[in-house]
Amino acid sequence: MQYIITGATGHLGRQITNQMLKCVAATDLILAVNTPAKAIDYQNLASLTTAFAGGDILIYVASLTYDRVSRIRELENVIAAAETAGVQSIVAMSFFADQTNNPFTMAPFYAYLPTRLAGSKLKYAVMRNALYADPLIPYLPELIARKHLIYPVDDQALSFISQADSAEAFATVATTPALRDHGRYFLLSQPNTFTMPELGAIMTQVTGHSIGYAPVTTAKFAQIYATEGDGAELASMYQAGARGLLNQPSHDFTAITGHAPTTMADFLTAGWRQTQI
């Protein structure tokens, strides 16, 4: 069995590759990498079809873009290429901000993805990630300086998962036909959710610095992070959070892997210690 992993050098893709190496031989992996050198090009159907040739199972990690039209075109190309290349099954990365009333910029893509897969010739599973906990680690110094979390979500709780835990679930589903081939939807989230005061309290305990909660407006949040290139998009995501749409705990990770995901406290503690070495 040959497993194709797209985006294999990205943050999640690299972790999935490492987890897959615990399950199958390196010779069973085909790493399809989207790089400036264009080892694959999501917008080029011929490139994808060539990259997928000889593969049986496709683990689809989408490109990092907030261009909805480009992402939908990418998905159409991925599905068409997989069908042409004779791929049997796809394990597709998704995100839990996919509700029809969700204001997040990319919600239309994530809402479209499972319906499109259902109409394809492929067997499939959809992996709906919660918010990644990983960006919280490099964010801690800024929060220590600010003394507050500033996410514009009011009193609503948010759900998280680490990329390492997500990757373990991906690898398990990809190598388990009973989980992979029946159109199942999995929500990869910790079983506990966190209001911002609760998250700040954990961060305070982990870092030894007081971190409270003083939310800014959605517009202000977009302005603060505009120079990083995704301020408006992130603001739209936290606007969804303020509506309670990112508060989705789940036990799917435990059902898939047989053990609980890393707790937020343990994840932040380990990550903070690494930054202090």
* Whether the predicted pLDDT of 37 surpasses 60: no
Structural domain spans, the chain: 3-130+162-189+248-261
Burial classification of residue 184, based on how many CB atoms lie within 10 Å of its CB (0-12 exposed, 13-18 middle, 19 or more buried): middle
Q: Residue type at 52? A: F
Q: What are the residues whose beta carbons fall under 8 Å from the beta carbon of 259, sequence distance 6 or more?
A: none
Alpha helix stretches (DSSP H) within the chain? 11-20, 45-52, 68-85, 107-118, 136-146, 163-174, 177-180, 196-207, 218-224, 231-242, 252-257, 264-275
Residue 121: per-residue pLDDT: 97
Q: 116-141 pLDDT, tens per residue? A: 999 999 999 999 999 999 999 999 99
Residue 108 confidence (pLDDT) above 60: yes
CATH 3.40.50.720 is held by the domain 3-130+162-189+248-261:
yes
Dist. CA 251–CA 142, nearest whole Å:
32
pLDDT band at 276 (very low <50, low <70, confident <90, very high): confident
Which percentage of the chain shows pLDDT scores above 90?
Answer: 89
Segment 38-70, tens digit of pLDDT: 467 899 999 899 999 999 999 999 998 889 999
pTM for the whole structure: 0.95
Percent helix, strand and coil across the chain, each to the nearest 5:
45, 15, 40
Is residue 4 over pLDDT 60?
yes
The model's confidence at residue 85, banded by pLDDT at 50, 70 and 90, is very high
Residue 34: pLDDT band with limits 50, 70, 90: low
Task: Let me know: does 232 contact 226? Beta carbons within 8 Å.
Answer: yes
Distance CA 48, CA 76 (A): 11
Distance, in Å, from the CA atom of 64 to the CA atom of 93, rounded to the nearest integer, reads 12
CB atoms within 10 A of CB 232: 17
What pLDDT does 39 receive?
A: 67
CA distance 215 to 154: 7
| Residues found in the chain | 277
Whether residue 187 is predicted with pLDDT greater than 70 in this model: the reply is yes
pLDDT given at position 36? 47
The residue to which tokens 């694959």 are assigned: 40
Distance CA 129, CA 116 (A): 18
Q: How confident is the model at residue 33 (pLDDT cuts 50, 70, 90)?
A: confident
Q: What is the pLDDT of residues 198-225, one digit of tens each?
A: 999 999 999 999 999 999 999 999 999 9
